[in-house]
Amino acid sequence: MNKKYAVIDTDIHTEIDNQRLLDFLPEPWRTRYASGNVGARNLGYWNPNGVMRRDTVLPDGTRIEATPQTLSKHFFDAYNIEYGVINPQGGLPISLSPQADYSASIATAINEVVMNDWLPADNRFRASVTVSASDPHLAVKEIHRVGAHPGMVQVLLPSALHMPLGNRYYHPIFEAAVAYNLPIAIHPGPEGTGISGKPTAVGYPSTYLEWHTDLVGSMIAQVVSMVCEGVFAKFPTLKLIIVEGGVSWLPSLMWRFDKNWKALRMTTPWIDRPPSEIIQEHVLLTTQPLEEPDRTRHFHQTLDMFDAGNMLMFSSDYPHWDGDMPDFAANAFPEPMRARVMAENARRVYGLEERQHA
């Protein structure tokens, strides 16, 4: 592990023990969850490698992400992680349940497991507030319940929802997040499941390769929606974090957006400056999955096309199959921006104290 720079990982997926989750679920939801009704899941696309790294299973069969102790020892210690943001497995699909009370109760239970079992176990752990967007008022209630917890650093939503994120339906969630200075993070995965729309604008893909490649479309649509609906004008301190969306799509989106705005600005009078300026002020992107062109200079040229040094935050997506480990990610970026991407931007956005890294 290169020790010349600090590492803050903004996307780590932990396994929530079902029995512990049941401990925090009231009836009638406890019996229902125990029966196997756990909400919307994937569409059944086949990944021949599985979605988890093979090296995340210990000799005794324990998965590294399954307990705080194993994650601390085998990931945080091994890669010299200063802080890591936990996005619990299972937290995203519940926003796509049509049954709002049930999904909101699961969100509360996930947060309780995180606050009782994970955050106290290692002071390097930070976490997302899990909410169900099926009922924004219940999501707001949950944000007010846990948003002041020092270990909670953002509100997590899926990038796939049943309407664009800029819609006023979701504004109460943004208002609550701003009250606790919490960014909104959106993460892909449940596209096409539950009450979300089709996973692409033209329908359902046939293969995992196609579905996975198309995920960036959700991110693009949500960014455009939030700018066009005036979310950042209404909530000027709000930050949006695009998790697990890659990087290279952003410049061309901003060019197209600015061009169209110049001709069509009368349709959105609250957008009083080029959309690219709004995006670069309010939006950040986590790095994984990094694009890997044959010529590194092409990637570096892309970084020059937007404020990459201040907008990107390292993420590993551990323990998923296409994760990027710290050294790999750090070496992908020019040295002048490396420290900001690997830690400093996340430290600023999440308000994290600097620590001496080994």
Average pLDDT per 10 consecutive residues for the chain, totaling 358 residues: 83 95 97 81 79 90 95 97 95 90 96 98 99 97 99 97 96 99 95 88 93 94 98 99 96 99 97 98 97 96 98 96 93 97 98 81
Look-up of token digits 């919490």: 182
Determine, yes or no, domain membership for 358: no
Q: In this structure, are residues 88 and 110 in contact, taking their beta carbons and an 8 Å threshold? A: yes
Flag whether 221 is in a domain: yes
Please report whether residue 61 resides in a domain: yes
Q: Is 355 a member of any domain?
A: no
For residue 30, is it within any domain?
Answer: yes
Rounded CA separation 189/191 (Å) = 6
On whether residue 3 sits in a domain, the answer given is no
- 1 occurs within a structural domain: no
Q: Residue 35 sits in which domain range? A: 8-350
Q: What is the pTM of this model?
A: 0.96
Residue 249 lies in a domain: yes
The number of domains in the chain is 1
The span from the CA of 64 to the CA of 72, in Å, is 9
The CA distance from 265 to 270, in Å, is 9
For residue 256, with 0-12 CB atoms within 10 Å meaning exposed, 13-18 middle and 19 or more buried, which class applies? middle
Give the β-pairing of 283-286 and 83-86.
unpaired
Instruction: Report the pLDDT value the prediction gives residue 197, as an integer from 0 to 100.
Output: 85
- Among candidates 62, 123, 84, which has minimal Cα distance to 326? 84
What's the Rg (C-alpha) of the chain?
20
In the chain the first and final C-alpha atoms are separated, in Å, by 10
CA dihedral 248, 252, 255, 259 (to 10 degrees): -150
* pLDDT computed for residue 52 by the predictor: 85
Would you state the pLDDT for residue 358?
53
Q: Please enumerate in sequence order all residues whose Cβ is within 8 A of that of 125, keeping only pairs 6 or more positions apart, or say none.
A: 68, 83, 84, 86, 118, 119, 151
Residue 190 confidence (pLDDT): 86
Buried/exposed code over 24-45 (b: 16+ C-beta within 10 A; e: otherwise): bbeeebbebbeeeebbbeeeeb
* Amino acid (1-letter code) at residue 30: R
pLDDT of residue 40: 62
Q: Check residue 170 and give its pLDDT.
A: 98
**pLDDT, position 72:** 98
Q: Map tokens 């308000």 to a residue.
A: 351
Q: Are 56 and 64 in contact (CB under 8 A)?
A: yes
Q: Which residues contact 281 (CB under 8 A, 6 or more apart)?
A: 232
CATH number at residue 14: 3.20.20.140
Report the pLDDT value the prediction gives residue 193, as an integer from 0 to 100: 86
Q: Alpha-carbon distance 41 to 39, whole Å?
A: 6
